[in-house]
Structure 1
């Protein structure tokens, strides 16, 4: 019997990619037809990512495409009035959230193509999907750069590695802002202690829509989240924006009574994190971003907010990984 398997199946009329690791009882599922969304990940007997009740709801329910699984964000979060200026060029994005916001981009709702699928003992189970702006003339109307996105999901020894490669195939520098929105399965209704650990250095003052209202600083919350912050009573629809410590980071959500932890590793190319608790699911989001919300419209230095471009012919690579750590009963 082989440890790893990767296959394409049809569920509810959608093509779904399944990655299996028999040794750890791990399975990952993503739906290329809807934003290449990693909508399920279970590992070592635990649910890691919250899935929708039905895949069709991602297409038929208002905003559902943003509300489950692991949406891919470009740009992440909101842009006021959908407008900003970068490198002397004005951009006007479609308004997809009332009253006048552009939210999370369109990568998470449009179909991606599968370009590689396989499994072997050395590389585990893996799939690569691709999205090209050149195949979507309506997107090029407001984002006039031939962007190419390749996502590779690899399941090895119970760890799900997610690698993103973003290339500007156009002739001009483009604004760059990327992020993920994983909905981690967290049992808020259990009454147990839920402890979050994040290697943060500063907290940004933000509104309840996560718009920045001032400069970041070290706060009591930053100190507490480094040591382990109990999020059991974190307010539904509450959000917190953090700047992470330099270098790769590992964040953890520990379910103390259930003797396991969800771990999430981020590369240094994702130096900002939005904490968010939805009110529609038993979940908690650790959203890594390359910039803070609506950074192109902020009056601060680019080095502080993450404002940057991607040059003609340039490729930017990012990676994350998620897994389950099981605790000893005697810890």
Structure 2
């Protein structure tokens, strides 16, 4: 269930943010959906619009080693036997403040079995002329260092045409190859000469993504951008800062009779899948330390 929710408005942008999962339920520009919405008062399918922490993506078998100790997390993706998307999507976040154009939530994580650490996380949403700005800050309020990662989980919606007809531009030079069955990391590969090379905008077609990308090109303002465009001329983009060195793309492919490819999940991540084990770009929050990540969704 979505729990309490809050409407935001600025200029030609509107949004509704739900307390459950701190999820962006709707985001519109001039009445046009920029993300795949989900109904009020019901379940949130496919983690739409949630904040994902303290780990993005998958940890195989829910087991990891940190600081010389072994831990076991609940497995919530039974088909692949993985711990998926952290704890925050299922939490009822606490409202801290709101205005007509902004809202801030907070939640507490741990200590719980498999994660004996204590974090306080705030998520701030703000509508402005540049779109929906999101800030997520995690503070370690415990007595021991904690492993941490975060990402958003919106499904971008370029326009009314099918996803296969959208064009996509991704500023990534490397992608993470994964196993076909459990989507677990194998090795990084260059996109050069590969079907995942979208550095120059081109049509998605039948391409299927559920992969992480890295080696981003950031502009002079320290921002990376993904843009998807509908052949009718509309589009939507997402920008993020250097706190997120990774990006997960997912075309939302589902087995019939479930609907699939409704939108493109674009998830700037601070670390790749299974970072709790590999340590790759893992944030290690010491007691009293904090970490901030930020991103933005905007109309094109």
For this structure pair, what is the TM-score category when the shorter chain's length is used for normalisation? 0.7 to 0.9
Deviation per CA, 1:236-264, whole angstroms, max 9, x where unpaired?
xx423210235420111111x32122110
Deviation, structure 1 residue 296: 2.9
Match of 1:112 in 2: 93
Query: Judging changes above 3 Å, is the alpha-carbon distance between structure 1 residues 264 and 155 closer, same or farther for their aligned structure 2 residues?
Result: same
Contact in 2 for aligned 1:203/1:222 (Cα 8 Å): no
Quote the Cα distance in structure 2 between the aligned partners of 1:31 and 1:270.
Answer: 24
Closer/same/farther in 2, CA of residues 173 and 73 from structure 1, 3 Å limit: closer
* Unmatched runs of 5 consecutive residues or more in structure 2: none
Check whether the contact 2:159–2:234 (CA below 8 A) recurs between aligned residues.
no
Aligned to 1:15: 4
What is the 5 A alignment of 1:55-134? 55-58=41-44, 64=45, 66-99=46-79, 100-119=81-100, 125-133=101-109
**For residue 202 of structure 1, what is the aligned residue in structure 2?**
174
User: 1:18: Cα distance to partner?
Assistant: 0.5
Query: Would the aligned equivalents of 1:176 and 1:308 in 2 still touch at CA under 8 Å?
Result: yes
CA contact (8 A) 1:173 1:311 kept: yes
What's the offset of the Cα at 1:188? 7.8
Kindly provide the CA deviation profile for residues 225-283 of structure 1, in whole angstroms up to 9, marking residues without a partner as x: 11113113223xx423210235420111111x321221100110111111111133511
SS in 1 for 2:112: helix
Distance 1:312 1:42, change over 3 A: same
Change (3 A) 1:55 1:73: farther
Match of 2:14 in 1: 27
The Cα shift of 1:151 comes to 0.3
The 2-side partners of 1:177 and 1:87 are apart by 16
Moved over 3 A (4+): 186-193, 221-224
**CA-CA distance at 1:295 after TM superposition:** 2.3
C-alpha deviations, 1:129-159, integer Å up to 9, x for none?
A: 000126xxxx523211110100000001251
Aligned-CA RMSD value: 2.3
Residues in 2 aligned to 1:173 and 1:29: alpha-carbon distance in whole angstroms: 35
SS of alignment partner, residue 227 of structure 1: coil
Q: Comparing both structures, which one devotes a greater share of its residues to helix?
A: 1
- Distance across 1 between alignment mates of 2:2 and 2:84: 27
- C-alpha contact (below 8 Å) 1:201/1:222 kept by paired residues: no
Match of 1:273 among 243, 247, 250: 247
SS of corresponding position for 2:188: coil
Aligned twin of 1:169? 141
User: Max radius of gyration: which structure?
Assistant: 1
TM-score by length of 1: 0.80
Task: Output one character per residue of 1:174-220: Cα deviation in whole Å (capped at 9) or x when no partner.
Answer: 11121121111245854873111111121221124431112333432
More divergent stretch after superposition (283-292 vs 217-226): 217-226
Displacement after TM superposition at 1:81 (Å):
0.9
8 Å CA contact retained: 1:187, 1:283: no
Q: TM-score, normalised by structure 2?
A: 0.88
Which protein has greater RCO, CA pairs closer than 8 Å, 6+ apart? 2
